[in-house]
Amino acid sequence: MTVIADHGAMSRKRSTTWVSVVVFILLIVIGYYLTRYQDQTAPPTTPAPAEPGQDPAAQLAALTVAPEGRMAGYSRDRFPHWSSQGNSCDTREIVLQRQGSDVRSDGECRATSGSWVSVYDGETITDASKLDIDHTVALAEAWRSGADKWTDEQRQKFANDLGGIQLIAVSATSNRAKGDQDPAKWKPPVRSYWCTYALNWISVKTTYKLTVDQAEHDALATMISQCPK
């Protein structure tokens, strides 16, 4: 009788263990699908102005002023993007999720709805296909400013920098008007954004140790002189 009782206890213990395992697996599966397919409804964030930790004019003065380099050897392929960021998302889709309002994405992480304010021209856009992800300091501009000497791995990091100020979702119209021009040749149509744009530009060039040419330097100095004191 004692042996029979022991077998019963062992049987109940094994049963309890299997139930625990099954419940654990179910929780993992449910958690996975909730994470992968939930609506992207995080509060919108606007790329923050650079916080250089010192006077912007001093940071600008610390940049090396040099003539622009040549475009020999340049190709956008030398700056691999958009990189995978996990859960079927790439860099572009992460930027859209972060910078939009009420963004919803499908199972492949593609934005299917939402609202974005293009800070360059003030346009409100509700169709993600009409948005470009702009590199504050364009890839070709970076190449002419020193990135031609980087490794492809360094260029990939630059092209997919999710730190908050190098990548920004803007209207395709404004991004293509900008092209690869620096602030001496192109400024955002929304004049009130000039201060933030200049601060971000200076911060990116400082972080990546890129040079500025004289006209670019002078244009940035004019733009930051309009920042609130």
35-89 pLDDT, tens digit each: 333 333 232 333 344 454 568 999 999 999 999 999 999 999 999 999 999 999 9
pLDDT of residue 162: 96
Q: Exposed, middle or buried: residue 23 (CB in 10 Å: 0-12, 13-18, 19+)?
A: exposed
pLDDT of residue 53: 53
Q: Which long-range contacts (CB under 8 A, 24 or more apart) does 77-82 make?
A: 78/143, 78/152, 78/155, 79/139, 79/142, 79/147, 79/155, 79/156, 79/158, 79/159, 80/152, 80/155, 80/156, 80/159, 80/160, 81/156, 81/159, 81/160, 82/133, 82/160
Amino acid, res. 120: Y
Residue 27, pLDDT > 80, answer no
Q: What is the pTM of this model?
A: 0.76
pLDDT of residue 55: 87
pLDDT of residue 193: 97
Give the residue-averaged pLDDT of 151-172.
Answer: 96
Domain ranges of the chain: 1-38, 40-224
For 124, residues 6+ apart whose C-beta sits below 8 A from its C-beta are 115, 116, 117, 118
What is the distance between the alpha carbons of residues 107 and 115, in angstroms, rounded to a whole number? Answer: 19
pLDDT of residue 39: 34
The predicted-structure confidence for 134-144, as pLDDT tens digits, reads as follows: 999 999 999 99
As a whole-number percent, the residues of the chain with pLDDT over 90 amount to 74
Round the average pLDDT of the chain to a whole number and report it.
84
pLDDT of residue 229: 79
